[in-house]
Structure formats: structure tokens, C-alpha cells
A and B are shown apart, each in its own frame.
Chain A
């Protein structure tokens, strides 16, 4: 059999062989199969396509009652005489856009309607971190660490996810980026993770005639450095080259998407993220922060500060969705969260104070969106948390855990969210399995089916029309081709390489790291 002509097939073959050589041997099964596939072992029952994740944190406690307006609730209008978004049928130019007869979007969220109506945008309401104390610092830290039972824990949920799962692309030199000057807590603990404020400006300063020689000298110096320092140096060096292959300045978004510009740092961050993901270099997680949501004074929900920020957020997210959906790239799940919400009652300064329950946005293909997911607690005084704030009825970790397992393919939820048993809420649609002989299992018996699916899908389909050929679309781009090989190999060898990535059996005592 011959592979279709594809760019990088040889590269895939090389990677496969290297991966096999790198994996700890002993457990590989001897099996007769095409030479370009390594020996594989059984894997668990996971999704076939793994998404890239973009985690966006709104710093300062964004007002969720403006982001998703409970427009049938009189209490909302009584409590916020100047800040409430007018009802959809009010005839006001600032009226809320009805979503489901109960909730509505503020008008500046209009750009999100296409994603919402096609079911790719989910709003989660009355969610958040249970037990938070209205302190920005504490709540943000605890939300990023995602283990309130371990106050000394230094790692973040996304960092732990990266540490407990094999790379999306085998041997990826760079797996995650925090778009900040220092790595965000969310990503702490993640291997091959760098803080990079500006993807387009990641290079070594100084004379361009000597830069290569200087880099080589530094590479030599760091060969003998302490392990983690050496790893950081290697990742940095490779990343400089990787990012250099991307022409950020001339990047053209797909689908005619237009990112907010020129004064939107969020728009800039998302646009570079899109370019980075489409380059498919191995980055599987990006963390972005947006500040300035702590609207104690003159909140401007209808026509002021908050409305401008929400417009920027929506425009950026909508452009990103359009951009990523159109290209021949990976699926991306975007999740937006904030440390807590804001008080129902507006204060004497035309603003709102710290609250409790908040909202999340989840966006992507394979998200069960087009609705507001909530167990709405109500806004009557006896229904409010401490008589003043929106309650929390869904722990935010439920949302993240489902994304981590179902969209990112990592079942190690006990390690990513320690001391917590999440409840899946139906955030994602059912996941594809790489079960190409349709026997209900993912194993080596699917290899022949996979080969046929990517090389001659017609023949595959004619074999058993009921069997889902698209399960072979491992990178989720809608096309069956050699680009799916890496992911397929990765999935079946996940057990083997996860043996290297997974930490040693967990000690009984709490990890204090």
C-alpha cells in the first residue's frame, strides 16, 4: 500500500520511529503491520480528536449579570435602576437580545450570536468557585490552582493537565504559552511551557550578523545546566525558531474574520494565537488574561466602560471562532472565566461590588452550545448568597473537567482536579472514537481500518456504511488524510508515552508543590 502524496509524510514516518525508540520498551506488542507504524499498545477509551485549548481569564471579577441578562427577573431591574440592561421588548436601543425567553445577551454581545445560534457557544451561569471570599487575589489564585483543599499547591489545572497527558503532537518542543511576562498560575507545572507576551517579538536582541553564533554559544553553555534550566533553554531556543516560521505580521484570518484593532490587545493576542495554532507546531494550550473588570465605580454596563470591554471581548471571540472554523486546522475550545461575579445591588457610585456566582463562556466545535447551561437559583433575597449575591449552583470545575477529558482527551481528572469528583454537565457533544472496525473498542485491530480510511475512504465506506469513517479524522479538520496519522499514532501509543509523562504513583500525603 502506498500513502497519498503528502507533505511531511516522511516526517511522520521519522517521528513515528523516533517515538517508538523513545518510548520505554517492553510493553510493545509484536505485530505485523505497515513498517511506517511503530509497535503500539492498547490505549484507554478516549476521544479521537484532541482540541487545542485557549483559556481566557477576565481579571477583576467581570459582571456576569450583564454578560447574560436574566431579563425576566424583576429583582434584577429593581436592584439596578441605572445599570440593568433594558428588557428585549422595551424598545430601547440598548435592549437585551433575547436568547431563550429567560436570558439575553447585552447588545454588545451581538457579534457572538452566529456562534451561539449554530450551537458552538455555550453560556454557563451561576457557576464559579464555591467558598470564595470576595478577595480578588485569593479567588483568582484558588480558581487557577483548582484545589482549595491544598492552599500550598503551586501548580495550576492546565499545567497539571499538560503534565499528565502526552503531547498533542509527539515530541512537540513547545506545548503551551502564557501570554504574560510571567507564567500564569493556571499553567504552572506544565512542561514545555513558556511565558511569551508577544509571539511576534520572540527573538534574541543584538546584532543580526552575530545572533546565530551567539545562540550557538549559549546552547553550549546551557548543556551542563541544572535540568529544569537546561530544558527551559532548549525550549526557548527551539521556540525562537518555531515562531520565526510564522509570519504574524501578514497573517490573514480565515473566513474574512476581522479582529478588533488597532487598540485591542485582546484582539492582537487572539489573532497571534490563531496564527500559532494554524501553524500546528505543537502548542496545545494558550492562556490569555484581560484586566480591568473590577467595576466598582461607574460601571457603564449600558453605555460605558463595561459595555466597551464586553464589545471588545465579543468581537475578539467572534473573529477567532470564524477564523478557526474556516481553516484547515485543529479544533479549538475556548473557555472564558472570571474569579467571581458582582453584587446584584448597584452601589452608590453607579457601580457594583464584589459578588459570588459568575458565568463562563465555552466556545468551539463539539461544544453543546446555543443555550444557557444553568441551575438558576433565582434573585429573590432568600435565594441570594449571603442575601446579596448570585449563588453558585455549578462548580466551575465540572465545566473544566468535562473539557479536559472530552475535548482534550485526558482522563486523569483526579490529578488535574485533586480532591474533587466532577459531574459532567453535557458541555461537550459526544466524542469520536478511533474505532474503525466498529467493534466498540479502540485497539490495534483498528489499524487496517485507519489505513484504508485515510488512503481510500470510499473503499472503507463501502465496506460497512454504518461504521463511522470520520472517526479517522483524528485532528478534527474534516478531512481524512495523512495529517491524521500523527494523532492516530499518538492515541494508540498514549498509554506507552503516558507512562513517561504520568508521575509516579501518587503518595498518600498531599503534594505540597
Chain B
């Protein structure tokens, strides 16, 4: 078993991850021979990349890489899925080291509020980029992005330049692969969300409906989930008093506060359920319960998950399967993902269009690019580039989150092409691709194109697009500047816009 343990460790599986080792041993049986030898020699004993594992690598990560594909083919479809679902077992010390100077990400509001707003915001945006590019916990990164969109908060609103950092850590990251009810509860108790959707001003006699409405329409039931306007009003009444500690100087400041004086303590009716008078904070907790367990919530969340991870307009069959898992497990996110990826034939999942953040991250991942943020002075050029593409993290104003639709993003091609040109030319300060290291020994036009094909497309680059790159690189033995430009073409290519 020793070689297996060594392999397990080198693949980032914790020593205690027996499950991973067992999976590896199953693989070993199937393939025969020493697994290490197989990996080393790439002989016919080596696992053959399959379309199904390729889909999984594309969907579970922020950008396909050869290393992830190899891992997926070693572990097999189910093994690879479990590997990424078991995110806490994945050793992430490398990116944690990069994040160490990003101290604001560990702060409480009372510490953050004394900082210049831009500095706090910058660490959050850069931290998010760092993790997406360099973390090994890729599915976790994807889920963090998913829930960030779902529980969208515009960082420019009111106090959010500071306190969205807290929401990011304690609401989104803490629950991204947990359960939806826990995530919802954390969001309902989030000072950042309260401030973003004005609930902290909501008071008996003058309840503010903004948060209540978005809670029902965007966070849980969905617009067709079967609620009426009066439900919005009643939920708003239930949530009066759910605000923040303001106007004080101690450690509580800008954290969640339930103020009974602001609360409307009359009786209410929410979605047909009577809520008697005098409930206090329990009114809101009852609402949380109703929403978290509602079949419409199961459908709505499942549909969004399927749209993000499987296909833009997912089949009702798939949505129903995931929704059933929601109901059966009390909204366990890992279980839902497992159902999502094991219900339909992976060969039937069509390609999805990369949003700009995804394009950036996948380009850097595939080429071994490094993002070096600046936690002190901040304002990284990569972040500015993302803004030009209309996808700067945490900068979407309405609560529905950045769209994930092909027809929304398709018109904005030139900013993508310019990112590709700039990042390969080395003109995005703080973001570097070592093109020579990436290309290795490849020196002729064909060799360079082959290397790009392997590393970025797994050997599946469309012929026309690959030919365009070969032709661009001719005559042979092109100088570095030309190689950089060819790499830019690859990042700009149609095939690289999909995953």
C-alpha cells in the first residue's frame, strides 16, 4: 500500500483519507500493474482521458488543466467528484500562504471600519481572485462564486466596502458546501445583507419591504414560487428589528442586532401559516424555517445549480432529481451536487459559456500563470481588467447577481481579446505568465501549437483554430513576442470561451 499512500499524499489527499486510498486501489485493480508506474510511463496501462471526466474537470474547477484531468482519470468519475466534494481534506497550504498578508479577511467589522474603504475592498476582490486561480479546492471555489451571485451584495452600497468581507467569510465561505438552510440563516443574520437591502431601517409601522421581497423572489422561492404581495408585507413585518448595531464603538458595531423595540409584534400570516402575536425574533426564525423547507425553494435552488453546473436551460428531469435530494437531505449541498452529476449521461451536457472571471482564471490556470496581488497598496491591474469586462467581483448592483447567460455576455468580446493580449504581453502588472516555461521545449510553430493544444484544450482544439495559430507562428522558430501573441490568440479563441 505504500506507493498508494505516497501517491495519495502527492495528490493532496490527506493521510487520513482512507476513502481516497480505497478508490485508488479500485483503480489499481481495474488497470492492473503498479499505478505509479502507469502514471510515470503513460503506457497503455495509464488511464485514458474520457469525455465524461473531462466534463467533470470543466464543471468542477475554475479552469481545466492537464493535472486535474490526470487526477480525474486516475480517480475516475465518481472518485474525482468525491475528491472535490470532500474539500476540507484537500491540502490548500499553498494558497493559504499566498493569502497570509491579506489580514483584513480575518477582521471583524469594528476592526475594518477604521480602514480606508478601498483597502478593505481590494483585499476581498484580490483574495477571491487568488483563491480561484491557486486554490486546490476548486469545486469549493466554484460554489463560493455561485452563492456569492445568489446572495448578491453590491460592495459599493453603504457600509459594504467593509462589512461584505465579513459576509464573504462567515456567510458564504462558511456554508458554501454545507446546507442551504444554514446558509440562508447566516445570510438572514448578515449585517452586510441587512444594509444592502435596507432591512436595518425596517421598523414596526413602517416596515421596509426590500429585503423581504428579494428574500422570497431571489433567495428562496423564486418569482413563480407561489407567494403573493401580501406575503412580502407579512415577511417584512416578521423581520422588523432584524438590523445591525449602529452608533456604538465596541466590538459589536456593524454586526447583526435584533432590536425588539423595532419589532412589529402583531400576529402575521406567511404563506398561509399563522404566526401568533408576541413572537419576537422567532417570527423571523419561523419565516426562515418555512422558506428553507418549502418545495419551491428546493426547485428554485436546484434549477439554479443545474443551470450553473450542467446546462443553461436544464431539463426538468434533472431539476426534479436534485430538488428531491434537497427535500430528502434537508438541503445538503454536497448531496445535491452528487445527484446533479450522476443523474444524466455526462455526454449530453452541452458546453457552457465562460463569464469573464472564469475566462481570466482558466487562462491563468492552464498556462501556469501567477497572480500576485498587492494586499497593502492594492488596486491590482487584473482587477481593473475584470472591471473593463463588466465582471468585477462584488460590483453587481442589483440583488439578482451577475447573470450566467450566454446571450448576456456574448456581445462583449473585445474586452476579452484585450485581456488575452495584455496578460500574454505581461502588461497586466502583478499577473505573469512565464511563456517560455509554459512552452518548454516547443520551438517550431507546430510544436508550440501542439503544446497549447495539450495544455489548454487537452488535445481537442478545433482544427481551424489550431491552424490559425500555426499559421500565425510561421515562419518557424518564432521570437518570444510572437509566441506570446499566439498564446493570446489561443485565449481569445472561440473554443476557449466554453467549458
Contacts and interface: CB of A to CB of B under 8 A. Distances in A.
Interface of A: 133-138, 140-141, 151-152, 154, 180-183, 188-189, 193-195, 197, 202, 204-207, 210, 213-214, 217-218, 220-226, 228-230, 232-233, 235-236, 240
Contacts of B469: 217
A288 B493 CA distance: 30
Interface stretch (B76-84, B249-257, B334-342, B414-422): B414-422
A249 to B, nearest CB: 20
B315 interface: no
A217 B223 CA distance: 45
A225 B494 contact: yes
A182 B390 contact: yes
B492 A218 contact: yes
B349 to A, nearest CB: 16
A484 to B, nearest CB: 32
Given A213-B472, A224-B494, A206 B485 contact: yes
Contacts of A197: 388
A202 B399 contact: no
A141 B405 CA distance: 16
A454 to B, nearest CB: 37
B209 A133 contact: yes
A89 to B, nearest CB: 37
Contacts of A137: 214, 397-400
A194 B464 contact: no
A214 B472 contact: yes
B468 A221 contact: yes
Chain B interface SS verdict (over half): helix
Contacts of B494: 221-222, 224-226, 229-230, 233
B269 interface: no
Closest 4 CB pairs of A and B: A181-B390, A182-B390, A225-B494, A137-B398
Contact of B408 (A182, A202, A206, A223): A182
A224 B414 CA distance: 18
Given A183-B411, A195-B390, 14 more contacts: A133-B213, A135-B209, A135-B210, A136-B398, A140-B398, A180-B390, A195-B412, A213-B472, A214-B489, A217-B468, A221-B464, A228-B406, A229-B494, A236-B414
B485 A228 contact: no
Interface in B405-441: 405-415, 417-418, 421-422, 425, 427
Interface in B90-126: none
Interface string B247-288: 000000000000000000000000000000000000000000
A193 B411 contact: yes
Given A181-B388, A181-B412, A204-B417, A229 B223 contact: no
Interface in B440-483: 462, 464-465, 467-469, 471-472, 481-482
B191 interface: no
Given A151-B223, A181-B387, A214-B472, A204 B414 contact: yes
Contacts of B397: 137
A138 B213 contact: yes
Contacts of B464: 220-221, 223-224
B412 A183 contact: yes
B489 A204 contact: no
B497 interface: yes
B199 interface: no
A176 to B, nearest CB: 10
B414, B467, B485 interface centre (most CB from chain A within 10 Å): B414
A188 B408 contact: yes
Nearest to A202: B414
Interface string B185-217: 000000000000000000000000110011000
B75 interface: no
Nearest to A291: B397
A221 B465 contact: yes
B358 to A, nearest CB: 15
Nearest to A155: B407
Given A224-B462, A226-B494, A229-B497, A217 B411 contact: no
A141 B408 CA distance: 14
Contacts of A151: 223-224
A204 to B, nearest CB: 6
A208 to B, nearest CB: 12
Contacts of B223: 151-152
B333 interface: no
B246 to A, nearest CB: 14
A188 B418 contact: no
Contacts of A189: 407
Interface residues of B, number: 49
A136 to B, nearest CB: 8
A205 B493 CA distance: 16
A217 B408 contact: no
Interface string B159-196: 00000000000000000000000000000000000000
Identify the interface centre among A133, A221, A222, A223: most chain B CB within 10 Å of its CB: A221
A190 to B, nearest CB: 9
Contacts of B148: none
B408 A220 contact: no
A195 B356 CA distance: 14
- Interface-central residue, B213, B407, B411, B493, by most chain A CB under 10 Å: B411
Contact of A154 (B405, B421, B492): B405
A496 B415 CA distance: 36
A140 B398 CA distance: 9
Contact of A207 (B391, B409, B481, B492): B481
B389 interface: yes
B392 to A, nearest CB: 9
Nearest to A136: B398
A220 B470 CA distance: 12
B488 interface: yes
Contacts of B224: 151
Contacts of B405: 154
Contact of B489 (A194, A205, A217, A224): A217
Nearest to B405: A154
Contacts of B467: 220
B407 A218 contact: no
Contacts of A229: 410, 413, 494, 497
Given A137-B397, A141-B398, A204-B418, A183 B408 contact: yes
Interface string B320-346: 000000000000000000000000000
Contact of B485 (A154, A210, A223): A210
17 contacts: A134-B209, A136-B398, A137-B214, A151-B224, A183-B408, A183-B412, A188-B408, A204-B414, A205-B417, A205-B422, A206-B422, A206-B485, A206-B488, A217-B472, A220-B471, A229-B410, A232-B411
Nearest to A135: B210
B418 A236 contact: no
Given A197-B388, A229-B494, A188 B412 contact: no
Contacts of B410: 228-229, 232
A163 to B, nearest CB: 12
Contact of B488 (A133, A214, A223, A230): A214
A172 to B, nearest CB: 16
B411 A135 contact: no
A450 B73 CA distance: 72
A197 B418 CA distance: 14
Contacts of B411: 183, 193-195, 232, 235
A226 B389 CA distance: 21
Contacts of B417: 204-205, 218, 236
Nearest to A209: B481
A241 to B, nearest CB: 12
A150 B422 CA distance: 42
Given A137-B399, A223-B464, A181 B389 contact: yes
A207 B482 CA distance: 10
Contacts of B421: 204-206, 214
Contacts of B488: 206, 214
A188 B405 CA distance: 12
Contacts of A136: 398
